[in-house]
A = this chain, B = another copy of it.
């Protein structure tokens, strides 16, 4: 069997990079799906990756960048010289450029922008001013706008002449602007099909088109596309000037990224994605930074056990139930956190509606606390035949479930009001409190009936 055929894609790529044949590399990468490309590139070591990008033209490198995840792409581009990086970025959509720069260190961003063409550099600096999850941060600047006095024929001539340039544009709508570049009207492609070609754009356009302000947030953009079934939202500044267009898939993508971030935060992966191709010490350090905060919280929670050490020594059976009560309550509380996070992100609840959430969670916490407490109490009773043990353990789980569920429901709202990130902070904070309370309830209840337990 041919050795080349049995190679894995990244082995073949490695081979081609070492051979230094740019033409073969482009042909080879064209055969791979974007997922395969991303995987193959991620398996090269840093030096080979840099060599690969040095071999490719900026256009080919930009095509490659579009296939891989932003985190991967930003890491790669940071390894290149600012000149090489700038040349590649100039081949990408404006919103993609900003997303990539947003993942890099500030000094690298400045160095790269300094190497871009003046007008591209100016645009990149301006776009970086807009927060990522706003219309400004999500829009593309590749948009066609024409003066209202133009005729349809003149517009069609322009389209015809610049066909190659516009091929990369997301041309869905043609915008009409006045002398101050203020948004004045919109035309759909098929609005140009039927009228006389001598008509002026002002005669055929739709006036005062729907638009969004540059500061519109993700919720407002989601609402825009839910209300208007359009292929793009023109973005205007405070003076009404047309700045760019937000595409509906950019809004969906931003919403997806937010939910991925929630997932990663909840799992203790902070500061963005981690890939196993990143350097070991970098990965280890990032994970440790979150874990070492957690170890402090754990020590605080476990100190409750230290205080009640004598009670525990007198009724050692309780040690079996301590982690069960705290773990179970933590799980119940995290369910409530997740429901609040989702309701917040869907706009079904406002951060100030604490009482409403509390009411809903207290009743649920009471029911689930009773059920789970009865279950665990029964287990304890059956195991040791001691009804007091069952009461202590079951009672503690019941009360702690109520505490955990109520607190879990409220925490995301409270953190949001305090301008903290609920996805990141809710779960560690909740676990600490439910651990402490769980240990406290079991051991303090036990101390009340200690003679009956031992």
Interface residues, chain A, with chain B CB atoms under 8 Å away? 33-36, 38-39, 42, 66-67, 69, 156, 159-160, 168, 170-172, 189-190, 192-194, 219-220, 222-223, 226-227, 229, 231, 248-249, 252-253, 255-256, 259-260, 262-264, 266-269, 273-277, 280-281, 283-284, 287-288, 290-292, 294-295, 298-299, 301-303, 305-306, 309, 312-313, 316-317, 319-324, 326-328, 331-332, 334-335, 337-339, 341-343, 346-349, 356-357, 360-361, 363-364, 367-368, 371-372, 375-376, 379, 431, 435, 439
Contacts and interface: CB of A to CB of B under 8 A. Distances in A.
Given A252-B252, A305-B319, 6 more contacts: A33-B220, A266-B267, A268-B335, A291-B331, A298-B327, A322-B323
B319 A322 contact: yes
A267 B411 CA distance: 15
Nearest to A30: B227
Nearest to A397: B295
13 contacts: A66-B226, A168-B229, A189-B193, A249-B252, A276-B348, A280-B367, A292-B375, A295-B328, A298-B324, A301-B323, A305-B320, A322-B322, A323-B439
B347 A35 contact: yes
- Interface core residue of A36, A170, A324, A332 (most chain B CB under 10 Å): A324
A259 B263 contact: yes
Interface of A (DSSP majority class):
helix
Contact of A280 (B170, B291, B363): B363
A248 B335 CA distance: 32
- Interface core residue of A316, A319, A364 (most chain B CB under 10 Å): A319
A316 B312 contact: yes
B273 A38 contact: no
Nearest to A375: B295
- Interface core residue of A36, A39, A156, A170 (most chain B CB under 10 Å): A39
Contacts of A248: 249
A287 B408 CA distance: 14
Contact of A267 (B36, B335, B357, B363): B335
A164 to B, nearest CB: 14
Contact of A226 (B67, B328, B431): B67
B338 A269 contact: yes
A386 to B, nearest CB: 14
Nearest to A197: B193
* 10 A-B pairs with the lowest CB-CB distances in the bound complex, closest first: A267-B338, A35-B347, A252-B252, A256-B256, A189-B189, A34-B226, A276-B360, A33-B223, A313-B316, A249-B249
Contacts of A349: 39, 276
B298 A328 contact: yes
Nearest to A36: B347
A324 B303 CA distance: 10
A255 B249 CA distance: 11
A319 B302 CA distance: 9
A194 B283 contact: no
A346 B38 contact: yes
A266 B264 contact: no
A273 B344 CA distance: 13
Given A38-B348, A39-B347, A284 B252 contact: no
Contacts of A284: 364, 367-368, 371
Given A291-B328, A371-B288, A431-B327, A299 B263 contact: no
Nearest to A379: B299
Contact of A317 (B287, B309, B348, B356): B309
A311 to B, nearest CB: 10
A189 B173 CA distance: 11
A69 B256 contact: no
A312 B319 CA distance: 8
Contacts of A39: 347-349
Given A223-B33, A266-B263, A288 B252 contact: no
